[in-house]
Amino acid sequence: MVEDRSPLSPRTVGAAVRGRVGANAALTGGLFIVIVLALIGAFAGLVAPHDPVKQSVEEALLPPGSPSHLLGTDQLGRDTLSRLIYGARNDIYTALAALVLPFVIGTMIGIVAGYRGGWIDTVMVGVIDVIIAFPMLVLLIALVFVLGAGVTTIIIAVTAIDWVVYARLARTSARREGALEYVMAARIGGIPTWRIMLRHILPNIITQSIVYAMSDMVLIIIFITTLGYLGLGVPPPAPDWGTMISEAQPYFNQQWWLAVFPGAAIVITGFGLSLIADGLAQRFDIR
């Protein structure tokens, strides 16, 4: 029996429908998780039941389920749930700020280098090769260590390193797009170079960078929480998921919730962003 593999066969149509449904489910689920976390962080002052930095020795190390502290308290009597909520605001929004700058800068540099070519492209490729020759996490931690802890330092460090990834993506796509007939026709028609890059090339290459950005934000959040764990992240007493895990180490054997809850928050955030990236990749057929 000959298997029907025509473009409109039931098997082909079914696979396409399943792929679209799967992409929509992943995208919807990821957006739901991330939007809920972002809203909780944005309205932390209204959502959090307690002041996240208020200490109460009498209420130290209360277990989850306590009457006035749903997720318990830490060694200083600070409410764990409130610190998680404020930690979401600090970590997620710092990661977002640290993502936008390299995304914009790297994409524009990559488009210019890929479309114009010549010495601009040669210089950019050389800079990229130098930066990516080093382990990114080690380089980022070294930069923060030199510049000092703080949100601004984190954003500067991530931007200084991470732009090369977006530049490389945009450069490759811009070179391919610039060789297509519609771009060549626009060039022959006398359309300014900047307009060709912004109106013709950018809209057709941006999708791949957006998909990567969702996965990249997971890495940035891991980087921010790693800095918090090392004492180089968000300055105290502001709550930070990595700092919470670091402070929980001496108590982990008995007070497990001190490390488990912030760890779970990191995993859930990363899972939501990964779902968005996967859903977008399937939806736009990006491999």
Question: How does pLDDT run across 136-151, given as a tens digit for each residue?
Answer: 888 998 999 898 888 9
Q: What's the pLDDT at 261?
A: 97
Tell me the CATH class for 25-54+70-283.
Answer: mainly alpha
What pLDDT was estimated at residue 186?
A: 87
Cα(187)–Cα(194) distance, integer angstroms: 11
CB atoms < 10 A from the CB of 212, how many?
18
For the segment 259-277, what is each residue's pLDDT rounded down to a tens digit?
999 999 999 999 999 999 9
Per the rule left: phi > 0, alpha: psi between -120 and 50, beta: everything else, 119 is: alpha
What lies within 8 Å, CB to CB, of 95 at 6+ separation is: 217, 220, 221, 224
pLDDT for position 21: 52
| pLDDT number for residue 284 | 83
What are the DSSP calls for 142-180, one per residue? HHHHHH-SSHHHHHHHHHHHHHHHHHHHHHHHHHHHHTS
| Spans in the chain with pLDDT lower than 50 | 1-19
Residue 16: its pLDDT value, please? 44
What's residue 100's pLDDT? 96
pTM of the model: 0.86
DSSP structural state of residue 56: -
Burial class (CB in 10 A: 0-12, 13-18, 19+), 123: exposed
Identify whether the C-beta of residue 171 lies closer than 8 Å to the C-beta of residue 110: yes
